[in-house]
Structure 1
């Protein structure tokens, strides 16, 4: 009897040790290892459990896939899958990995865009950094029904996207991207900026249109408010803006370095040599610097400006057409000397 009791105690002890080792392996032992300093796991929206397991097995060194499945199923993870971008920066136990994925504690991504001329440019720069690809983004932005209720048209919607760096969760759809950028747009256009625009008898879209032109026209930042003042003077007097960047936009040819007389005949509402007032919309994503230049435009009586012939990026400013023509001729001669013909 004592012998049976002894064997029973031994068996119980062995079972207990096995159980403890099993529990330790699940909850504490780092059985899921990363190959480098960190590994990024992407779980798409609507991903099935098998798809997630396959992604984990492909990107991580999983000690025992069956045990990983067992832990996931016990924790009901197959019905609690949360899409996102998960950065794994250390070895984990099966339990810790599933807890991380089940919690949805994903790592955000930084989305940066600038120097954007068209909606296609925007979609190309943003698509792929979030779950929505460029085709989904451009499809959303190409349908005005998606934003008419917010006061925008297809020609003006690009004003919503103010160049900067924004933090997003990876599993962001095209509509969610727009919603977030609209929120940022409204935050940007605070009461101070709205008041500055009203003082100039402008609305945010008109400010954005001028800012986008100035961004393309001006290299020297400190000249932007002065050139903004020139454009505002012309608008107040009913003089066409005659802004070369709008011609490039109308022609959809941004490789042009010299706008020629033949280019000015293009029939387009964006041809500011033909039509007075504002073009239908911005000719690119207006920068913060460009917008603030318009809102803080210099007050002066200049009506013209021409690039300096020294190619410094600075401009000569004029009050009369005859003075402007002299400066423009100097610049044209320098273009010819440098053999810049288009």
Structure 2
């Protein structure tokens, strides 16, 4: 009887101990994976994990965002996340538990939207893009000017700017410089369909030359409806082997000389003598590269240029942004008087 009683006591203690241990195990499991573990007031925060981040760097980033870093890193270790820390942009919501945080870091790399337009130089492009993705401006510039890439794609340090078509694109934040460049080349090649290439061939222009001419046209007028007419003027001059004498190319050469932050309201006669391959008052044909990032409307204006006999144009002071066109130099000089008179009247000297 005594033995049976003792047996029951021991059995009860054993069961109780087992239940206590089981409870501790369940609580520890729950605390490790399912207990809320965020430490910020915002509804959510974004975490940017750099490529090649080691454990120390990862701990420095995540540590301040969780209440209990011990349980988080314990969970991250047990789920083997720490063996494969993934670069990218990730969103952690307020109230997430460790499992939800780890799943977000493992599976939910968030794309970023990269928008660029109205840029004057490839350096401006690199600077802008570096604000959206992990690659910095220096690595982007090195990628753009990589000799092997340029040779393989029949480009050079001047014409490379042509392949970047202004638009909004989607990338992962951890996109490398070469990945960005290669995607832009792919977008450029996709844009240049056979029908567009055929239009360029009929004008005796390459796609790169179309972009170069489009950049001049865009800097010449903000009026989209006038761009095909201006494209026609420059095309007529190219056919006649006349110098383009495009003021925007002179403005570009002035900026090359004085700095691209220089504000220029008027081109002076002395500026026409600046020595530069971009100065179309000194050199025949097109400049070696774009003087601006042309948008799609400017490229289309060249491909679908207006067929006419105009060879000259000058700003129309009565219609800001538009121009007066002429077939002869004599007619052009007559049209030019209204513009030079307006400049004098408004005391615009530079």
* DSSP 3-state at the match of 2:314: strand
Equivalent runs, 1:157-306 vs 2, <5 Å: 157-252=160-255, 253=260, 255-306=263-314
Higher mean displacement: 23-32 or 105-114: 23-32
**Which string of whole-angstrom CA distances, capped at 9 and with x for unpartnered residues, describes residues 171-229 of structure 1?**
11221111111111111111221122122221101100111111111111110111111
Equivalent runs, 1:46-195 vs 2, <5 Å: 46-58=52-64, 60=65, 62-103=66-107, 105-195=108-198
Partner of residue 6 from structure 1, selected from 3, 12, 18: 12
Counterpart residue number, 1:317: 325
Aligned 8 A contact 2:238 2:285 in 1: yes
TM-superposed CA distance for 1:110, in Å, is 0.9
Q: Does 2:337 match 1:337? A: no
What is the alpha-carbon distance in structure 1 between the residues aligned to residue 95 and residue 203 of structure 2? 59
**Which string of whole-angstrom CA distances, capped at 9 and with x for unpartnered residues, describes residues 310-337 of structure 1?**
3511111111111111222211111121
TM-superposed CA distance for 1:152, in Å, is 0.5
What is the alpha-carbon distance in structure 2 between the residues aligned to residue 79 and residue 18 of structure 1? 28
Aligned 8 A contact 1:34 1:88 in 2: no
Aligned 8 A contact 1:161 1:185 in 2: yes
Counterpart residue number, 1:24: 30
Which runs of no fewer than 5 residues in structure 2 stay unpaired?
Answer: 1-6
| Rg larger for | 2
Pairwise CA RMSD of aligned residues?
1.6
What is the alpha-carbon distance in structure 2 between the residues aligned to residue 210 and residue 143 of structure 1? 25
Which runs of no fewer than 5 residues in structure 1 stay unpaired?
Answer: none
What is the alpha-carbon distance in structure 1 between the residues aligned to residue 202 and residue 39 of structure 2? 61
TM-superposed CA distance for 1:10, in Å, is 2.2
What is the alpha-carbon distance in structure 2 between the residues aligned to residue 248 and residue 314 of structure 1? 19
Structure 1's consecutive aligned runs of 4 or more residues displaced over 6 angstroms after TM superposition are none
TM-superposed CA distance for 1:263, in Å, is 0.2
TM-superposed CA distance for 1:338, in Å, is 1.2
What is the alpha-carbon distance in structure 2 between the residues aligned to residue 285 and residue 220 of structure 1? 16
TM-superposed CA distance for 1:128, in Å, is 2.6
